[in-house]
């Protein structure tokens, strides 16, 4: 039995996986709240993560009908790019800044200039740092909270912090580390010079976690935490990783040939690569994977957060919202939405705001606005998928995950806009499943039986044939026209 945890923006999910049968036996969840500001601030109190971790674990074990003593290993997935700062006693210095925080955009611009622009950043780090990456949060923290900054003893990503809470050890693995902006993805090592540039005292360099391989354990769970969670005190904690890296494992995307697309709070599209070929497109982040390769990826900042905003505006439940989307035609009778409520990363428009275009007295309807937000967010993913394909990524199908993937009408819109068949996995929590599978892989290494990650994913990841959705030729043609309309308005921004 293995426990998989996914600490996301909206909450923490837990699953209990029987790695012998490949079945998920139980699931649980706990909610988080966002601290938001009009200046782009998006933060969370990390105590909420710990409380949600405990709640989700208790629910998952209860639903599975197993004892926590049966858990052999724990894997943690976490939202990427966040910053958790600890003092020498291990206390959190201030709320964690999240992936969707754009308050440090000016600091990112200055750091990007220091690196020599996007081209210089790509050459040095293998990625072009963007607003939301961890590195600019460090410079922002130094300038906004110098007294707190002077007390930094550890700088951790969200999943690294949870591993630290579980084991008392400060570690990071290559996949999640790739999204910090102070990591070289080609050589898989920290870039110490950029941290020295931010703080010449060397404090940040000393605060870095130790880098470990994806199949390595961080350590054994601390006795007090094992007792609090009701878990086996001998359970090991795997390296874990970022939610996208764990989502790749949880969809079986660990070899070239598949694309995973997530319809979550943010939108992501990624594929496995066995070589670190850096794209010339700055918007393509060639992260390391958490399975031994690389994970070329694009991320949009607005997806179900935008669709939920429209749904809540009209006080619709999810069923009524989907019905409204289905009742509006392709192109929403000329209504086009640029849904940049959080700015945008792909395309790179960090200061953009949302727009609704093409309204007139005949098309201003609830149904058209509902469809326009779904189409607008999906066009952003199409824009990113085109960048990946231009960079050499090929795939005949898309594995669709995230809350939006549960909607049949949205699956059809994705298939038509991408002109590619889509299919969902049978489970809904791909990142938590990936974390549990990685925990089983790590446990196998520790026990010396050497079961491969591929064998584990083949047994534990299954696709849902009922969800398979193929593009309709006339829809594809109609959407090509609407998508070009979207691209034209992007040029105006």
User: Binding site for substrate: residue ranges?
Assistant: 80-81
Residues 4 and 15: beta-carbon distance below 8 Å: yes
Residues 165 and 224: beta-carbon distance below 8 Å: no
Annotation: binding site: 80-81
Residue 447 to residues 44, 210, 236, 240, 435, Cα–Cα distance (Å): 37, 23, 11, 18, 18
**Contacts with 449 (C-beta within 8 Å, 6 or more apart), sequence order:** none
Residues 76 and 7: beta-carbon distance below 8 Å: yes
Residues 346 and 378: beta-carbon distance below 8 Å: no
In whole angstroms, give the CA distance from residue 83 to residue 64: 33
Residues 486 and 344: beta-carbon distance below 8 Å: no
243 is catalytic: yes
| Cis ω before 153 (30° cut-off from 0) | no
User: Tokens 């925080």 belong to which residue?
Assistant: 101
Residue 149 to residues 12, 102, 136, 249, 264, Cα–Cα distance (Å): 28, 19, 14, 36, 33
Instruction: Give me the catalytic one of 6, 176, 243, 416.
Output: 243
In whole angstroms, give the CA distance from residue 373 to residue 379: 10
φ/ψ of residue 146, rounded to 5: -60, -35
Buried b (16+ CB within 10 A) or exposed e, 446-456: eeeeeeebeeb
**Contacts with 269 (C-beta within 8 Å, 6 or more apart), sequence order:** 259, 260, 261, 262, 297, 298, 381, 384, 385, 388
User: Tokens 């319809």 belong to which residue?
Assistant: 263
Comparing CA positions, the residue from 459, 379, 464 lying closest to residue 20 is 459
E strand or H helix that includes residue 117? helix 117-125
Residues 131 and 102: beta-carbon distance below 8 Å: yes
Active-site positions read: 243
């Amino acid at each position: 039995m293995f426990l998989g945890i996914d600490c996301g923006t909206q909450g923490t999910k837990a699953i209990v996986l029987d790695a012998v049968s490949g079945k998920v036996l139980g699931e649980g969840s706990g909610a988080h709240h966002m601290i938001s500001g009009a200046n782009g601030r998006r933060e969370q109190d990390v105590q909420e993560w710990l409380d949600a971790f405990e709640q989700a674990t208790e629910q998952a074990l209860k639903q599975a009908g197993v004892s926590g003593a049966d858990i052999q290993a724990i894997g943690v997935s976490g939202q990427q790019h966040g910053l958790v700062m600890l003092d020498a006693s291990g206390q959190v210095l201030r709320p964690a800044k999240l992936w969707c925080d754009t308050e440090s955009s000016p600091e990112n611009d200055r750091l990007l200039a220091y690196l020599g622009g996007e081209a210089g950043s790509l050459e040095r780090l293998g990625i072009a740092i963007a607003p939301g990456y961890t590195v600019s949060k460090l410079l922002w923290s130094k300038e906004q909270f110098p007294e707190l900054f002077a007390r930094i003893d550890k700088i951790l990503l969200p999943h690294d912090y949870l591993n630290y809470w579980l084991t008392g050890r400060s570690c990071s693995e290559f996949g999640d580390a790739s999204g910090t902006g102070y990591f070289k993805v080609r050589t898989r090592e920290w870039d110490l010079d950029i941290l020295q540039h931010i703080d010449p005292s060397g404090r940040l360099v000393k605060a870095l976690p130790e880098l470990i391989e994806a199949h390595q354990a961080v350590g054994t769970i601390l006795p007090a935490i094992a007792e609090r969670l009701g878990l086996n005190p001998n359970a090991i904690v795997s390296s874990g990783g970022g939610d996208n890296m764990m989502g790749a494992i949880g969809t079986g995307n660990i070899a070239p040939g598949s694309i995973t697309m997530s319809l979550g709070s943010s939108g992501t599209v990624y594929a496995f690569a066995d070589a670190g070929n850096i794209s010339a497109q700055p918007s393509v982040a060639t992260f390391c994977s958490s399975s031994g390769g690389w994970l070329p990826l694009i991320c949009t900042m607005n997806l179900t957060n935008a669709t939920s905003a429209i749904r809540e505006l009209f006080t619709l439940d999810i069923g009524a919202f989907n019905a409204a989307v289905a009742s509006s035609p392709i192109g929403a009778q000329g209504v086009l939405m640029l849904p940049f409520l959080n700015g945008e990363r792909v395309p790179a428009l960090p200061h953009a705001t949302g727009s609704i275009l093409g309204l007139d007295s005949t098309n201003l309807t609830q149904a058209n606005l509902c469809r326009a937000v779904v189409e607008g967010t999906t066009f952003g993913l199409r824009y990113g998928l085109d960048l990946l394909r231009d960079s050499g990524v090929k795939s005949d199908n898309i594995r669709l995950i995230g809350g939006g993937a549960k909607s049949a009408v949205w699956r059809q819109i994705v298939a038509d806009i991408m002109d590619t068949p889509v299919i969902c996995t049978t489970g809904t929590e791909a990142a938590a499943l990936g974390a549990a599978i990685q925990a089983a892989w790590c446990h196998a290494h520790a026990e010396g039986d050497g079961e491969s990650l591929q064998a584990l994913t083949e047994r534990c990841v299954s696709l849902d044939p009922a969800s398979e959705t193929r593009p309709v030729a006339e829809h594809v043609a109609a959407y090509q026209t609407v998508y070009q309309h979207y691209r034209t308005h992007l040029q105006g921004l």
